Amino acid sequence: MMTEKQILSEILSTIKQNQSLSSELWAIEDIALFLKISPDSVSKRITKVKTFPKPIKVPTTEGTMNPRWYAQEVREWVKRHKS
C-alpha cells in the first residue's frame, strides 16, 4: 500500500508531466510518430482536416515559416475522434 507521501509524489509528477505537454510543440514528424503514419500523410491529409488544430508558424532566418502544433491540442483532437 502506498503512503500518503508516495501518493502526493505521484500526483505532483502527473501534474508536472501534463504541464510540460501543454506547452510542448510538435513538428509534422512528431505528429507522424504519434499517429504511426508517414509525415507525408500528416502534411497532406491530417493537417487539412478542418477540425485539426491550427499551427503556430515559427519564422526562420530564411524567411520561411515552420509550422508547429501544441502536443496537447493534437492529443485532444485524436481523443475526440476515437470510435
Q: What is the mean pLDDT of each run of 10 residues along the chain (83 residues)?
A: 81 69 87 97 97 92 89 94 81
Residue 33 and residue 78 in contact, taking contact as beta carbons nearer than 8 Å: no
Q: What's the pLDDT score for residue 22?
A: 65
Q: What's the pLDDT score for residue 7?
A: 78
Give, in order, the Cα–Cα distances in Å from 12 to each of 4, 5, 15, 23, 49.
12, 11, 5, 17, 35
Q: What's the pLDDT score for residue 19?
A: 60
Q: What's the pLDDT score for residue 18?
A: 62
Q: What's the pLDDT score for residue 45?
A: 97
